[in-house]
Amino acid sequence: MTAAEVPPKPAEGRSLQLITTVLAIACGLTVANVYYAQPLLSLLSKSFHVSEGSATVVVTLTQIGYALGLLLLLPVGDLVENRMLVVRTLVVTALALVAAGASPVFGVFAAVSVVVGVTSVVAQILVPLAAHLAPQGHEGRYVGRVMSGLLLGILLARTLSSLVAEALGWRAVFFISAGLMAVLGLVLRSMLPARRPDHTQGYRSLLATVVELARTEPVLRRLALCQATMFGAFSAYWTAIAYELVDRHGFSQDEIGLFALVGAAGAAAAPVGGMLADRGYGRIARAGAFVLAAGAMALAGLGASSVVLLAVGGVALDFAVQCHQVMSQQVIYALRPAARARINTVYMTTVFVGGAISSAAAGALHDAYGWSGVMVYAAALPVGGLLLWATGRTTAPAGSDHRAGEPAR
């Protein structure tokens, strides 16, 4: 591995702890941009004088943008100096959010939503950067800390968006986030060490190696599919829970937003998963995560009459999903350290597609079979992941660090 591939490690102690904390906050704030519009659809419909069905297109467009960002922007983390890439991407994010908040017509808002989705993948650029900055042998712990911030951003975005919109109006959500992106850009520019990747063959070659990584790394493929089953269960639960809370328990929109806060407890799993991975317990702990996730969905399905049991199921699911994510990333980042951004592209695109499919399936299943049908489906997904775990390798081959140190060609 050349000196250009991995930057000098920051000093141990406070400086590394501070950088890790800032990265966690940055991941949470940036990924939250993907989810802010979801609880605002009714307000957007009224403000732009479009149907609620038309307003829902915004969620789809933002997700399409995020998927495009994963495929086309995230690999650039292995080509362009990372600090510059992150800061410039945040500038574009801030401008897009200002445009969203100031949109005079729905068409403009829908268009800039795609840009917001594309640029919000900066969170996924920062996660492998955390692995580069971590001391050798402690990558899982530091990635886990950063991932806890990302999960909190996903879980809290809907709650914060609802509360801000109620107090200041829906446009304020996007203006405030734009300001946060600008501040983040300045903070990260001053705090992050420079990291210039070793890949020099150009963008087209970079994208070609994404396909090559998916083809030649069976451990990467299997772990990505395993996490897709977990994130699929997560997406199914959080897509259908609002219907259940409204139909069975009579929750208001604000109460649904507050219920989402219970999922934030699952963020505590990230450091735990990282420590287990660093100590060599990753493989068996991943099996435990599948069992916990399936059990959580069974509990939520059988205990639908109790808000407490629904909440416990949600917390347990989030804990399992997050643990498996961090432990899997500890493995895949060791496969080819010089290609971590591209590895993350393969991994996260697979996971995101799995979540998107499950969200759509959850809506159809809820219409046909109600909450119980969704929970049977959500419980079956991690069981499928456990079968994948049991039937193939999910750990890095011995000596992979040496082979992985070479750039993917």
- pLDDT at res. 406: 37
Asked whether residue 403 carries a pLDDT value surpassing 60, the answer given is no
Q: How far apart are CA 160 and CA 260, in angstroms?
A: 10
In whole angstroms, how far apart are CA 29 and each of 160, 241, 257, 271, 353? 11, 24, 17, 19, 22
Q: How far apart are CA 298 and CA 8, in angstroms?
A: 47
Least confident of 13-27, 250-264, 305-319: 250-264
Q: How far apart are CA 243 and CA 248, in angstroms?
A: 8
Q: What is the mean pLDDT of residues 163-183?
A: 93
Asked whether residue 174 carries a pLDDT value surpassing 90, the answer given is yes
Structural domains in the chain plus CATH codes: 1-198 (1.20.1250.20), 200-409 (1.20.1250.20)
Q: How far apart are CA 356 and CA 289, in angstroms?
A: 21
Q: What is the mean pLDDT of residues 259-288?
A: 77
- pLDDT at res. 227: 95
Return the percentage of the chain with pLDDT > 70, whole number: 89
Q: Name the DSSP class of 6.
A: S
pLDDT, tens digit, 9 for 90 and up, residues 16-73? 778 888 998 999 999 999 989 877 877 888 899 987 667 767 877 887 888 889 888 8
Mean of pLDDT over the chain: 83
- pLDDT at res. 375: 97
Distance of CA 326 to the CA centre of its chain: 11
For the record, the structure tokens of 384 come out as 């499928």
Least confident of 98-112, 198-212, 229-243: 198-212
Q: How far apart are CA 152 and CA 155, in angstroms?
A: 5
Buried b (16+ CB within 10 A) or exposed e, 325-339: bbbbbbbbbbbbbbb
